C-alpha cells in the first residue's frame, strides 16, 4: 500500500502564520504537521509516500532534505488542483501499487487504522471513507445504515430517515481501480466518489464510534489540540524534554527556569526554556523561537516567531 498526503492548500484560516510557512510546516506539539502524518503512515507499514504541494513548495523541499521519513513531492506549480485533481496528477505513482491511503496533512487522530485497512483489503470496495459518528446527529457524509455504502455528502436538502450521517475525517483508502474514475477536469474528489457509486462500484464508510480527531485548520483548533494533549484526550509525541503538569494543566520544558513556571496559568503550553520577567500566560501556546516582551500579558493567543496572534472562539 502506498501513502499520499494532501498538503497543497494555502491554509488561509491559519493566517497570519501561513503567510510565512505552508500549512504542512505548522508546528503542533513540537512537530510540524507533515511529520505527524509521515509518522502515522510509517507506523502503518506504509513506506512509499507521496506529498502534493503548491504553496511555498520550496519550504516543503527543504524539509524533505532533512526528514527522517522519505517521500516524493508532486509539485502543482501551475495551479492548486484539489483532492480529485491531486490524485489524477499523481495517478502514475499511486497506480504502481494495488492500493493507497490518502490523508489530509492537517488531521490529527488517535484512531487505530490497522483494522480498518485490513477490512478494506478483504472487501470489494474501491474506496473506503474513514469517518467518526456524527456529532449531534449532523455529519458531513451520508451512508446506508445496513450496507455501509456511501450515498452523498450531507446537506439540508438530502437528509433521509433511512440514511445515517457521519463525519468524514480526511482519510480514505483506495484501490488502484479507483483511478479509472478520475478525469483531467476533476478538482474535488466528491463527484468522483459519486461517479464510482453510479457506475456500480462499492464506495463504503468505515465508522468509528469512539476516538479523537481534530482538523487543525484554524488558529483556535491549533491551540485547542495542545490543550487537549494537556488534558490527556490525545496522546501524541510532544516535544522532547517537555513535561505535562496535569494538576496545573500546563506543559513546559523540563529544564524551564522559574520565570516560565511562575508565568504559566491554566492551559499554558510553553516551548521556550526562558521567559522575560513579569509575563503572564493563560490559555495560550508559546512556540519555539518566539519573542515576548517583559511584563506582557498573554491570554488566548498563539505566540509565534512572527508575533502574538490572538484567537477567537470560532
> Residue 58 belongs to what H/E stretch?
helix 57-66
Mean pLDDT of the 264-283 span: 93
Q: What share of the chain is helix, strand, coil (3-state, %, to 5)?
A: 30, 30, 40
pLDDT digits (tens, 9 = 90+) for 193-246: 999 999 999 999 999 988 899 999 999 999 999 999 999 998 875 556 899 999
CA–CA distance, 280 with 131 (Å, rounded to integer): 40
CATH of 2-215, one of 3.40.50.300, 3.90.550.10, 3.40.50.150, 3.40.50.2020: 3.90.550.10
Beta-strand relationship, 284-286 and 268-270: parallel
pLDDT number for residue 146: 87
pLDDT number for residue 314: 59
Residue with cell 489540540: 225
pLDDT number for residue 46: 96
CA–CA distance, 116 with 19 (Å, rounded to integer): 37
Q: Give CA angle at 103 (98, 104), nearest 5°.
A: 150
For residues 158, 183, 179, 33, the Cα torsion angle rounded to the nearest 10 degrees is: -80
Alpha helices in 67-201 (DSSP H): 82-89, 91-94, 114-122, 190-198
pLDDT digits (tens, 9 = 90+) for 62-120: 999 999 899 999 999 989 999 999 999 999 999 999 999 999 999 999 998 999 999 99
The domain spans of the chain are 2-215, 219-310
Q: Provide the phi-psi class of 8: left if phi over 0, else alpha when psi is between -120 and 50, else beta.
A: alpha
Q: Give CA angle at 205 (100, 178), nearest 5°.
A: 35
Mean pLDDT of the 137-148 span: 88
For residues 268, 272, 278, 284, the Cα torsion angle rounded to the nearest 10 degrees is: -30
pTM of the model: 0.94
pLDDT digits (tens, 9 = 90+) for 234-261: 887 555 689 999 999 999 999 898 889 8
Mean pLDDT of the 1-24 span: 96
Amino acid at each position: 500500500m502506498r501513502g499520499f498526503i494532501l498538503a497543497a492548500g494555502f491554509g488561509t484560516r491559519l493566517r497570519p502564520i501561513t503567510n510565512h510557512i505552508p500549512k504542512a510546516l505548522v508546528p503542533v506539539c513540537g512537530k510540524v504537521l507533515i511529520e505527524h502524518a509521515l509518522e502515522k503512515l510509517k507506523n502503518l507499514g506504509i513506506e512509499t509516500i507521496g506529498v502534493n504541494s503548491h504553496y511555498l513548495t520550496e519550504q516543503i523541499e527543504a524539509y524533505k532534505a532533512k526528514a527522517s521519513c522519505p517521500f516524493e513531492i508532486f509539485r502543482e506549480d501551475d495551479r492548486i488542483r484539489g483532492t480529485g485533481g491531486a490524485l489524477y496528477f499523481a495517478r502514475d505513482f499511486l497506480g504502481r501499487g494495488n492500493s493507497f491511503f490518502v490523508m489530509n496533512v492537517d488531521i490529527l487522530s488517535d484512531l487505530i487504522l490497522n483494522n480498518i485497512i485490513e477490512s478494506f483489503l478483504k472487501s470489494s470496495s474501491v474506496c473506503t471513507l474513514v469517518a467518526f459518528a456524527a456529532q449531534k446527529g449532523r455529519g458531513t457524509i451520508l451512508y446506508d445504515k445496513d450496507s455501509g455504502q456511501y450515498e452523498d455528502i450531507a446537506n439540508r436538502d438530502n437528509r433521509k430517515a433511512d440514511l445515517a450521517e457521519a463525519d468524514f475525517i480526511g482519510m480514505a483508502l483506495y484501490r488502484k481501480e479507483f483511478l479509472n474514475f478520475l478525469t483531467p477536469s476533476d478538482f474535488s474528489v466528491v463527484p468522483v466518489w459519486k461517479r464510482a457509486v453510479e457506475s456500480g462500484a462499492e464506495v463504503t464508510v468505515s465508522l468509528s464510534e469512539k476516538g479523537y480527531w481534530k482538523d487543525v485548520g484554524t488558529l483556535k483548533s491549533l491551540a485547542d489540540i495542545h490543550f487537549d494533549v494537556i488534558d490527556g484526550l490525545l496522546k501524541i509525541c510532544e516535544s522532547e524534554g517537555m513535561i505535562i503538569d496535569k494538576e496545573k494543566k500546563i506543559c513546559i520544558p523540563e529544564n524551564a527556569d522559574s520565570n516560565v513556571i511562575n508565568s504559566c496559568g491554566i492551559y499554558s503550553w510553553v516551548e521556550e526554556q526562558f521567559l522575560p520577567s513579569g509575563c503572564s500566560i493563560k490559555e495560550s501556546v508559546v512556540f519555539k523561537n518566539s519573542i515576548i516582551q517583559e511584563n506582557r500579558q498573554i491570554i488566548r493567543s498563539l505566540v509565534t516567531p512572527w508575533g502574538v496572534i490572538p484567537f477567537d472562539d470560532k
